[in-house]
Amino acid sequence: MGLQGVILSWSGVVADDENLHLQAINQLLVEENLRPWNLCWPKSGSPGQRELYRLQYLGRPDRERLPALWGEQGRVLSPKQLEELLKRKALYYQQALQGQRELPLIPGLRETLETLERLQLKVGLLCGQSAAEVTAFLERFQSCCPALIQLTDVGSYRVTGDDAGPIFSPGHLHRLLLQRMELPAQACLSIEATYSGIQAARSAGIPVLALATFFPLHMLQRRANWAVDGYHQVEWERIQNWFAGGQDRPSTPEAEAGSCKRSQGEQPQP
């Protein structure tokens, strides 16, 4: 079965906005008389705290992340409390977004969206945060990157944290997005940048391409089907060949040799 669709997970794949999410979360923690995370993402702060947050909480849907963060400090959130925190967090994120001057898009996203459109592949957007946060981000930067229109059109495929029910299972949002895209898992590729995203996609049976936005390449190669330093290393022809016939390299020796030189960072399907 050939490649028919691509899922773009938000964090580290579309947006480089984890610092804004953490800023909003820290504001909630302070208001709730809890200890904020001193990370100063991504360059300073406590190395131990930064590594713990990166491994356990980075990229997780807010409906998972907030209860886990509160539980880490001995607080248990009721469903009503969680809903109230989610609303406040979305508001604080949008406020932080307004002060953002630089375009926090992942390098190469613009060209990748254009390539996916040319290849006539369905593109699905998956974000574990609220729809209000996603919409605010896309509307804010759409004029700077017209290719984002693909993700904001009425007919676009999108799943956000608002679509998650009270019982959150691994891969739930990915499976829901597959339903909306009307595609089987084996005909889709999920692009991820966090451990939680990779685990969720693979639990839904979706092959994964990992971007080294937050983690070193060698740490992603053990978890994803393919891993690259950035969008500029993605070889769509190779990936399409694998989906079409299980081959992850071009058929001719000459093309294979050239491909190996260009993509030393990629990890073939195990």
Q: What is the pLDDT of residues 65-98, one digit of tens each?
A: 999 999 999 999 999 999 999 999 999 999 999 8
Strands of 157-159's sheet, edge to edge? 157-159, 122-126, 5-9, 188-192, 208-211, 226-228
Of 205, 203, 126, nearest in space to 162 by CA = 126
Q: Where are the domains of the chain?
A: 5-15+105-262, 18-98
Fold of 18-98: DNA polymerase; domain 1 (1.10.150)
Measuring CA to CA, how many Å separate 237 from each of 4, 40, 248? 13, 39, 9
Q: Residue 21: pLDDT above 90? A: yes
What does pTM read for this prediction? 0.86
Tokens 């956000």 — which residue? 160
Architecture of domain 5-15+105-262: 3-Layer(aba) Sandwich (3.40)
pLDDT number for residue 43: 54
Lowest mean pLDDT among 44-58, 68-82, 149-163, 183-197: 44-58
Q: Are 38 and 30 in contact (CB under 8 A)?
A: no
pLDDT number for residue 46: 60
* 60: Cα separation from own chain's centroid: 9
